């Protein structure tokens, strides 16, 4: 039969193939064992434990929400054509009153994320902000952008530190509904501690990038391009020269109104 004729050469080839595979496998196994033994302490590429969430991976504004017990809020309280303006790193005697005046002129509300050290220097500005119908946000005792790398006791003290200063400035019953991490550098522990302290972690969805001092036209154009219904917009009234922020706001407030936007607070 044809099969019988063909079988011997095929059997031979299979035997050779299987032998080659067996030799190769045993060679690979022996090489990998000797390699592991020969380099004690060498970093093993494969089974790495999952790294802890690094502290401040300085996620750019408005991008991926960090995982955690509660992701920071990035939308307005009401749905519809609303925006929430937020001002960080104040209060500042040069800029905060100017911003309050502009907001009042346009019937706008905003949330001010204040730093404890600034609150202690200018407690009267906290009362002024509240008197204009604005909301307060705790932005830590002294704006440590590496907060997520500190131990929990330090984190806790920093997180509630600004709120304590706000209460000293404006009364023990002053509402501080929000907390924002310095630099937007969140960690699970920070969000959990803020929630435990009764504050809503507050992120943003639009970064005006006013802190880079790009010039008024760039700030205005950036916000115009990025704003959407429900946006939480990040500005700064402290922490540096903020004349560009004030000038940009003077253009943006009437523009937002003309676009049909109303002003709201962030969701809680």
Residue ranges binding Zn ion (CB under 5 A): 88-89
Tell the smallest beta-carbon distance from residue 259 to Zn ion (Å).
27
What span, in angstroms and rounded, lies between the C-alpha atoms of 230 and 136?
19
Query: Which position among 132, 139, 143, 236 bears the catalytic label?
Result: 236
Q: Which is nearer to Zn ion, 88 or 92 (CB)?
A: 88
Tell the smallest beta-carbon distance from residue 161 to Zn ion (Å).
14
What span, in angstroms and rounded, lies between the C-alpha atoms of 235 and 246?
10
* Class of residue 126 by CB neighbours under 10 A (exposed 0-12, middle 13-18, buried 19+): buried
Q: Which is nearer to Zn ion, 132 or 143 (CB)?
A: 143
User: 231: which strand partners?
Assistant: 75, 83
What span, in angstroms and rounded, lies between the C-alpha atoms of 163 and 151?
20
122 is catalytic: no
Q: Which SS3 state, helix, strand or coil, does residue 33 take?
A: helix
Q: Which is nearer to Zn ion, 82 or 191 (CB)?
A: 191
Q: Which is nearer to Zn ion, 181 or 231 (CB)?
A: 181
Dmax over CA atoms of the chain, in Å, equals 106
Tokens representing residue 135 in the block: 């909301």
Residue nearest to Zn ion (CB): 88
Tokens representing residue 28 in the block: 């690979």
Q: Which SS3 state, helix, strand or coil, does residue 262 take?
A: strand
* Class of residue 8 by CB neighbours under 10 A (exposed 0-12, middle 13-18, buried 19+): exposed
Tell the smallest beta-carbon distance from residue 238 to Zn ion (Å).
8
237 is catalytic: no
Q: Which is nearer to Zn ion, 145 or 188 (CB)?
A: 145
Tokens representing residue 145 in the block: 């952008």
Helices (H), the chain: 2-38, 96-105, 116-121, 123-131, 152-170, 188-196, 216-226, 243-258
Tell the smallest beta-carbon distance from residue 182 to Zn ion (Å).
5
Decide if 116 contacts 142 (C-beta within 8 A): yes
Q: Which is nearer to Zn ion, 144 or 264 (CB)?
A: 144
Query: Which position among 88, 165, 237, 264 bears the catalytic label?
Result: 88
Tell the smallest beta-carbon distance from residue 139 to Zn ion (Å).
6
Tell the smallest beta-carbon distance from residue 183 to Zn ion (Å).
6
Catalytic positions are 88, 236
């Amino acid at each position: 039969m044809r099969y019988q004729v063909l079988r011997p050469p095929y059997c031979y080839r299979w035997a050779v193939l299987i032998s080659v595979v067996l030799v190769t496998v045993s060679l690979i196994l022996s090489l990998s064992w000797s390699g592991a033994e020969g380099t004690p302490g060498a970093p093993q590429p494969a089974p790495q434990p999952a790294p802890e969430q690094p502290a401040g991976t300085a996620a750019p504004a408005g991008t991926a929400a960090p995982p955690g017990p509660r992701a920071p809020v990035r939308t307005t309280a009401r749905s519809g054509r609303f925006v929430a303006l937020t001002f960080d790193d104040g209060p500042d005697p040069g800029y905060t009153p100017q911003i309050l005046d502009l907001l009042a002129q346009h019937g706008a509300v905003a949330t001010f994320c204040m730093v404890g050290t600034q609150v202690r220097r200018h407690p009267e500005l906290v009362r002024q902000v509240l008197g204009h119908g604005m909301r307060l946000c705790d932005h830590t005792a002294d704006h440590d952008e590496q907060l997520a790398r500190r131990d929990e006791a330090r984190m806790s003290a920093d997180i509630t530190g600004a709120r304590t200063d706000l209460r000293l400035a404006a009364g023990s019953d002053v509402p501080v509904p929000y907390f924002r991490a310095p630099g937007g550098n969140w960690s699970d522990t920070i969000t959990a501690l803020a929630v435990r302290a009764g504050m809503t972690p507050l992120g943003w969805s639009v970064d005006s990038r006013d802190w880079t001092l790009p010039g008024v036209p760039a700030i205005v154009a950036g916000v115009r391009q990025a704003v959407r219904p429900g946006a939480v917009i990040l500005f700064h009234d402290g922490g540096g020269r903020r004349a560009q922020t004030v000038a940009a706001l003077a253009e943006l407030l009437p523009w937002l109104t003309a676009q049909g936007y109303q002003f709201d607070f962030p969701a809680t």
